[in-house]
Amino acid sequence: MNAPTPPTTVPSPDLAPFRARRERLLARMQAAGGGVAVLPTAPERIRNRDTHYPYRHDSYFYYLTAFREPEAVVVLVAGEEPKQILFCREKNEEREIWDGHRHGPDAARETFGFDEAWTIGDLEKRLPDYLAGQPLVWASLGYDEAWDATVLKALNTVRGKARAGVTPPHSIRDLRAELDEMRLVKDAAELATMRRAAQISAAAHCRAMRATRPGRFEYEIEAELLHAFRSAGSQAPAYTSIVAGGANACVLHYIENDCRLRDGDLLLIDAGCELDGYASDITRTFPVNGRFSAAQREVYEIVLAAQHATRDATRPGAHWNAPHEAAVKVLAQGLIDLGLLKGSLDGVIESNAYSRFYMHRTGHWLGMDVHDAGEYKLDGEWRPLAEGMVLTIEPGCYIRPADDVPERFWNIGIRIEDDAVVTADGCELITSDVPKAVTDIEALMREASHG
């Protein structure tokens, strides 16, 4: 009998962009005075008793390494002889039987393009040697006490050798702040992955629309999303999916997903997959029975018009807040037209009266994290958008029951969200494969019900 074929693994990503990012970081460090960067991946987390949560690497660490195993640290030495070092778990046949493949230092060095690789157990001994004689330590302190202690212990070890002529680093710089600036503008490899993640999530939303009907439970529709994500190759959801029917759609971060869907209600789905470390983020709102009521349609068309205005305002050179301002103008005027707000447009905006029905902002950075790295202001001013940035555009309107609100509008919660890549002359919506025009949504659901 022939030996069984071993299972295949997911192909590794193209490693050239990761090496290029490390080299860019080293150049930025050198321009700022040199030094050594030290960055760990995320620790494993206990779910309960001796069971772990599914492991997910640290985004900053993965951005530089493409290495997905836990218990790993990257060290980058700037200067005339730059060096890239990886510390990782040693090969261990017994642990691999229980937990799966480990690269080990030798294979990791060759596979991931490092100059040196050592076992994680060597970190305490070797890190002081890398820090000795260096002017700066680039680290991210304050996020994990155990890691803070590791860095400070190594620094103090070097300080303890001062009488032997060893010069310790004189300053600690925030490594995450430097990486945030790099991560804001996506390279070609990142954009290709994000487009694929967007396609997977778009198909999942279409599947969910087709599966929705009165009497089903929110969690059944969530299951359709998860099936579509995983079967298309996504490793996990990028965040806990929101599947919110009726009044639940007016809870911005509703995640229980356990209520029965009712005829006449809307269903708001905010869900996206993570693919090879990159997130997607889509929201659509549609009628459970496949047809918008007159009131639902009135509110929906206002939110859709706000999203179009947001899209048009998303372009290079526009400041970060411009899309939000565009959305607020449309939403505020729409709420006045519906009779839900009184006064002039300028007055409603200046008084913030619209926030009763629209209380969140219109977007956020998107990338390895669903709320991705990067500052929104520079020197107190909104950051200008630039080609290669990726953000969400997601206006909404949430109308809870109240004495001064006509009953026909009660419990209407609507959000429409797409992922936008800033291009040379505007933006590209990479999640537009999910219908959002009223007629297109109703046609898709009608086709599904007749299928």
Q: Write out the catalytic residue numbers.
A: 50, 253, 270, 281, 360, 364, 371, 394, 398, 415, 417
Task: Report the C-alpha gap between 243 and 256 in whole angstroms.
Answer: 8
Task: Yes or no: say if 244 and 413 are a contact pair by the CB < 8 Å rule.
Answer: yes
How many angstroms separate the CA atoms of 422 and 335, rounded? 29
- Between CA 185 and CA 190, with CA 187 as vertex, the angle to 5 degrees is 105
Are 134 and 32 spatial neighbours (Cβ–Cβ below 8 Å)?
Answer: no
Of the candidates 244, 272, 209, 237, the one whose C-alpha atom is nearest the C-alpha of residue 431 is 272
Taking each continuous run of H as one helix and of E as one strand, the counts in the chain are 13, 21
Q: How far apart (Å, rounded) are the C-alpha atoms in residues 308 and 93?
A: 56
Read off the tokens for 153: 């212990």
Q: Residue ranges of the alpha helices (H) in 338-365? A: 345-350
Q: What is the DSSP string of 144-211?
A: -HHHHHHHHHHHHHHHTTGGGTPPPP-EEEEHHHHHHHHHHB--HHHHHHHHHHHHHHHHHHHHHHHH
Residue 314 makes CB contacts below 8 A (sequence gap 6+) with 322, 323, 385, 391, 393, 420, 422, 426, 427
Question: Cα-flanking dihedrals φ and ψ of residue 252, to 5°?
Answer: -60, -40
Strand-strand pairing, 51-52 and 46-48? antiparallel
Distances (CA, A) of 267 to 71, 211, 218, 287, 333: 42, 12, 9, 6, 25
Structure tokens that stand for 279 in this block: 């997130």
Helix, strand or coil, per DSSP, at residue 26? helix
Q: Are 331 and 311 in contact (CB under 8 A)?
A: no
Where b means 16+ CB within 10 Å and e means fewer, 291-300 reads: ebbebbebbb
